[in-house]
Structure 1
Amino acid sequence: MLKDFRTFIARGNVLDLAVGVIIGGAFATITKSLTDDIIMPVVGAIFGGFDFSSYFVRLGPVPATYKGSPDSYAQLKAAGVPLFGYGEFVTVVINFVILAFIVFLMMRSVNKLIARLEHEKASGQAEPAADPAEVVLLREIRDELKARGTIPPVA
């Protein structure tokens, strides 16, 4: 069973998936920063505030022991106040749309490259296939025999 598991893990698809998850995590961090630090402040300025994620509606009372700001989404949420945080949801949706658009652009570029390579291959512009090892070996033998003068040069 351990051998089967090792074979499964060593397959290219599993390793590719692992690399994809790691790269995806790093890419998600970049996208989150792009959204939180660049795009959302502009969207927030357009809609009347710089912190778009602070848009929320309180659905329940604030505890009497609460000492934080009544306008702080994060503090109210930490205090257990039921909130309808539509600003945070909009931020997450915008994050998703940006990430999906970037992945779309990457896949579009890859598909165009693949189509161009297939077109070149179909039109005969692609690189010729490498000669089989036997042909290469026979050429080397022929060239060595020519160099020794064993066979006359071919015209």
Structure 2
Amino acid sequence: MGLISEFKTFINRGNVMDLAVGVIIGGAFATITKSLTDDLIMPVVGYIFGGADFSGYFIRLGDVPADFKGNLASYADLKAAGVAMFGWGAFLTTMVNFLILAFIIFLLMRAVNKLTAAPAAEAAAPAPTPEDVMLLREIRDSLKK
């Protein structure tokens, strides 16, 4: 079997295609989660903690280039100019994004587990014992006596 045909067999496996679909859906879901965090949750959190937008909190570590024309208080402008910064606010926003995504996945997996556990419990009920097995058990018990 040639390298190309082995690769074709590998790609055509169901689990590889499922993984590809999962990655694409995950990418789309990540943008929804980012918007949820950036546009809805973090502004509320910022309002509660003094009206701050956490993505704007940073510590400048490097010097600002002489030709810098942006806002010195803007994390995005300084980052675009290549200034070294400790962006703890952006990191905090990313962590909130992760926690939201992890919690949503947890809820989805919990729901799936509940749906799949019910049929498994029904299937776990023991089947009636066949008549020949019952007869063999009676013979065994008689022989023990």
TM-score range, shorter-chain basis? 0.7 to 0.9
Larger mean CA deviation between 11-20 and 40-49 belongs to: 40-49
Query: C-alpha separation between the residues in 2 aligned to 1:13 and 1:115?
Result: 23
Contact 1:42 1:50 in 2 (8 A): no
Deviations 1:50-106 (A, max 9, x none): 422000111123223222211111101111221111000000011011111111111
Aligned length: 124
Match of 2:84 in 1: 82
Query: C-alpha separation between the residues in 1 aligned to 2:34 and 2:102?
Result: 13
Query: C-alpha separation between the residues in 2 aligned to 1:76 and 1:5?
Result: 45
Q: Percent identity?
A: 69
Which SS does the other structure have where 2:10 is aligned?
Answer: helix
State whether structure 2 residue 116 is matched by structure 1 residue 114: yes
Query: C-alpha separation between the residues in 2 aligned to 1:122 and 1:9?
Result: 36
Structure of greater Rg: 1
Match of 1:39 in 2: 41
Match of 1:58 in 2: 60
Which SS does the other structure have where 1:69 is aligned?
Answer: coil
Query: C-alpha separation between the residues in 1 aligned to 2:30 and 2:94?
Result: 11
Query: C-alpha separation between the residues in 2 aligned to 1:84 and 1:2?
Result: 47
Q: TM-score, normalised by structure 1?
A: 0.75
Where structure 2 has 5 or more consecutive residues not aligned to the other structure, the ranges are: 127-145
Runs of at least 4 residues of structure 1 off by over 3 A?
Answer: none
Query: C-alpha separation between the residues in 1 aligned to 2:121 and 2:51?
Result: 52
Query: Larger relative CO (CA 8 A, sep 6+): 1 or 2?
Result: 2
Contact 1:70 1:76 in 2 (8 A): yes
Where structure 1 has 5 or more consecutive residues not aligned to the other structure, the ranges are: 125-155
Q: CA RMSD in A?
A: 1.5
Q: TM-score, normalised by structure 2?
A: 0.79
